[in-house]
Every structure is written in structure tokens, then in C-alpha cells.
Amino acid sequence: MPQEDQKQRVDRELIELLNELRVALPGVQVLFAFLLVVPFSARFDEVTSAQRAVYFGSFVATAIATALLIAPSTYHRIHFRTGKKERMLFSANKMAISGTAFLAMAMVGVVFLITDLLYRVLYASITTGLIAGWFVWFWYGLPMVRLFRDKARDTERPG
């Protein structure tokens, strides 16, 4: 956006961030609701101690993801009209990235738990490894590779 001044750019970037969080939050909320109900199901008494630990880790990771993904909105409200929107944007960006990391951990844990309950630990481990790799690549690997490639290309261009 070459016609933007600093304030317009920061405003646009904040709107983009908040819109992106609107995409992630429903998934986190559904996962959290699912995990809140699981211990009250009839079969929960049958889970092994390892499965219980995976469940609890996923539950905690979902709670942390929820907090981190909602935090930018709260941060923005608290800093309303303080003139520190750009600093808030950088903090909110870090919270959002951290929130997606905890969301990925929670989802991977749930994949392991459900696959282990349905099949065996070997299948659960293989499936979970593949799903974890999928998350790491598409959520972090691909964007980072392209970021580094673009930065390298920009430094090679004559100024």
C-alpha cells in the first residue's frame, strides 16, 4: 500500500490481525468445549493414565491458546487512544503466533488421544506425527521459508 502513511498502515495491519483472529477463535472455542465435556462422558473412566495426561495437556494448551488469541482484543481495548497502537500491534502479533502454536499442540494431542482410543498407540503415534508435521509445515514452515526467501531476494536487489 504505497499511498499509506504510518498511521493508516498500522490501522490496516491491526484490522487484518483482528480479522485473522476471528478465523482462529471459533476453532479454539469448539475444541475447548469438546474438551470440557470429555471427562463427563461414560467412557472417560476407561482411559489409561497416559491418555489422561495427553487429555490434560491438550486441555491446558487449549486454555492457553484461547487466552493468547483473545488477548489482542483485550490489549487493544485497554490501550484505547493511548497512541501506542504500533507497539500494541507487535505484542498482539506475538500473542497470536503463540496462540496458534498452543492450538496446534492441543489439536495434535486430541488427534493422539482419539486415535489411541480407537486403534493402538502405534497407529496413534504415526498419525499424530503426520498431523504434527502437517501443522508445523503449513502454519510455520512454509510461511517462514517464503519470508526468508523474500528477505534474501530483497537484499540481493540493488537499492
Domain ranges within the chain, ordered by starting residue = 6-156
pLDDT digits (tens, 9 = 90+) for 62-109: 999 999 999 888 888 887 777 777 888 889 899 999 999 999 999 999
Q: What is the pLDDT of residue 53?
A: 95
Q: How far apart are CA 15 and CA 76, in angstroms?
A: 11
> How many other C-beta atoms are found inside a 10 Å radius of the C-beta of residue 133?
12
Supply the angle between the helices 121-135 and 85-118 in degrees, to the nearest 10: 160
pTM score, two decimals? 0.82
